[in-house]
Structure 1
Amino acid sequence: MSRRGRRDVGLGVLGVLLAFGACEAVSRAGIVRRTYLPPASEVLARAVELAGDSAFLDGIGATVRAWALGLTLACVIAVPLGLLLGSVPVVEAAMRAIVEFLRPLPSVALIPLVSLLLGSGTRTEVTLIAYASVWPILFNTMYGLRESEPLAKDTLRAFGFGRAAVLWRVELAGAAPFIAAGVRISAAVALVLAVATELLSGFGEGLGIFIAQAQLATDGTRDVLAGVVWAGALGLVVNGVLVWGERRLFPWAPERRAVRT
């Protein structure tokens, strides 16, 4: 790890410790009632305790499965569609109004409609996750195509390569870091939707269901916050793995990991 990387990790750990200490002090001092904000040490202890609960781990597995399926479906839809819209201006002009109409619609607002069409269960959850996750990948793919090297494209055309060859050899390769950044953004969005859909819909199993049930229990704030800790830990692991993958796959283009949405 580089010196800058070690510094960033150290600052991150320091920030976590400061937040932990602040929450602990506020609760212990009685500034906020423990029923509303239990001490951070108790929440952390409960989160660790849940690691030995097989039913809870099964719920985590259900959430991760829905997350993975939804994100995969979003990639399968968004990358080819982004390549089409980004490389054929006429198609982009025809689809722009539809895309801009659908993009702002919040996925959670579609829960009743999708539930009526698909019923309750994994299909509804995966559909909503995919819908929310499509947009960062789609737009990053389109922007990535526009950032491809004009000289490289002209060189291939000069040697007689066709449109498909230029798209595959130059444009897609140049857009790959942008697509990876879009996938990383969508991975976080997908995890949020996986938990939120379970939490708001009240059906199925998963981390969101655990949090929803704990919220209804007497003195269940500790379990709610322990579930939130698990959700945050999952997000941290997913982001860390994807950032590591980006750096390994695209070491030549660190500037292209910038977020474009």
Structure 2
Amino acid sequence: MINARVVRGVVGVAGLLAVAELIGRSGVVDPVLLPRMSAVLAGAAELLVDPRFLSDISGTLLVWGGGLLIAVVVAAPLGILLGSLPKADLAARPLVEFLRPIPSIVLIPLVTFLLPWDHGVKMTVVVYAALWPVLINTMYGLRDVDPLAKETLRSFGFGKLAVLRRVSLPSAAPFVVTGVRVATSIALIVTISAELLAGGSDGIGAYMIRAQAGFRTDLVLAATVWTGVLGFAANALLVRAHRWAFRWHVVKAGGAT
């Protein structure tokens, strides 16, 4: 049976596309500024066989995936450290709360001076943006561990490392995955934004700049469509992985498995 939520989502998207097409055909908006949705979708189909655009997607995936991987590798262990050591958390919290609100995009000029590599500049700001959701969720997950479970294990003679490995980390793992999900979306947004602002020779953002210079608004929007598809696919994959790996947590939270 088809999930009712999926059906509602499909109907909603189809309705939005239909409204956009009607607005385009009505002549209210200049088609150069806002092309018809049918033209945008046709352009999106053409991009699938455009070697240059496929190369640009590869550039975006490299920065997006590489930055996200580095962020997870750095943030998860750091979150475990701060989440399991209250004194370290207390000492680091002012610095975390100061750095976390700083938009990663504003770091582009500074990073450009420090790194000559185009992908390195973009990946650095992606790492900075994606690091915080993973770090905060990991710390929160460790604080949310049932204290009774930890005390029970300690009463049987297990040390701090054993309690961390057997109780705290398994309990915090779903929160870490949630942090990765949030970071994935943020990383994609920052990747495209960095490509638009920092320039470069490849990437979906670079393709948008070239299309805009050629007054091809339809191709700009078509590239935007594929950006949304990438984000949706990544989020759906992580949601499914979360439900499969942590069914007990989904049931506990009141969700369906």
Q: What TM-score bracket applies, with the shorter chain setting the length?
A: over 0.9
Structure 2 Cα separation of the partners of residues 257 and 50 of structure 1: 41
Q: Say what the alpha-carbon RMSD is for the aligned residues.
A: 1.4
Contact 1:74–1:131 (CA under 8 A) maintained in structure 2: yes
Change (3 A) 1:247 1:214: same
- Residue equivalent to 1:197: 194
Match of 1:50 among 26, 35, 47: 47
Change (3 A) 1:246 1:257: farther
Deviation at 1:142, TM superposition (A): 0.6
Aligned-partner residue type, residue 199 of structure 2 = G
Cα displacement string for residues 208-233 of structure 1 (whole angstroms, at most 9, x for unaligned residues)? 10011112223x11111001001001
Deviation at 1:126, TM superposition (A): 1.1
> What is the total number of aligned residue pairs between the two structures?
254
What is the SS of the residue equivalent to 2:248?
coil
- Residue equivalent to 1:12: 9
Match of 1:238 among 234, 241, 253: 234
TM-score by length of 2: 0.96
Cα displacement string for residues 13-43 of structure 1 (whole angstroms, at most 9, x for unaligned residues)? 0010011001000010011110111110110
Contact 1:59–1:207 (CA under 8 A) maintained in structure 2: yes
What is the SS of the residue equivalent to 1:160?
coil
User: Moved runs in structure 1, 4+ residues, more than 6 A?
Assistant: 255-258
Contact 1:70–1:130 (CA under 8 A) maintained in structure 2: yes
Cα displacement string for residues 28-82 of structure 1 (whole angstroms, at most 9, x for unaligned residues)? 0011110111110110010011000111101101101111110110001111111
- Residue equivalent to 2:115: 118
Where in structure 2 are there 5+ consecutive unaligned residues? none
Q: Are residues 1:24 and 2:2 paired? A: no
Deviation at 1:171, TM superposition (A): 0.5
Structure 2 Cα separation of the partners of residues 54 and 257 of structure 1: 45
What is the SS of the residue equivalent to 2:6?
helix
Deviation at 1:124, TM superposition (A): 1.1
Deviation at 1:193, TM superposition (A): 1.0
Deviation at 1:145, TM superposition (A): 0.5
Q: Report matched runs for 1:198-217 at 5 Å.
A: 198-217=195-214
Structure 1 Cα separation of the partners of residues 161 and 101 of structure 2: 32
Structure 2 Cα separation of the partners of residues 256 and 175 of structure 1: 14
Where in structure 1 are there 5+ consecutive unaligned residues? none
Q: Are residues 1:72 and 2:69 paired? A: yes
Structure 1 Cα separation of the partners of residues 238 and 207 of structure 2: 27
Q: Report matched runs for 1:83-232 at 5 Å.
A: 83-218=80-215, 220-232=216-228
Cα displacement string for residues 107-153 of structure 1 (whole angstroms, at most 9, x for unaligned residues)? 11110100110124111111111100001100100110011121211
Aligned-partner residue type, residue 221 of structure 1 = T
Cα displacement string for residues 211-261 of structure 1 (whole angstroms, at most 9, x for unaligned residues)? 11112223x111110010010010011011000100110011116779xxx
Contact 1:47–1:230 (CA under 8 A) maintained in structure 2: yes
Identity %: 46
Q: Are residues 1:252 and 2:248 paired? A: yes
Structure 2 Cα separation of the partners of residues 133 and 191 of structure 1: 9
Contact 1:178–1:257 (CA under 8 A) maintained in structure 2: no
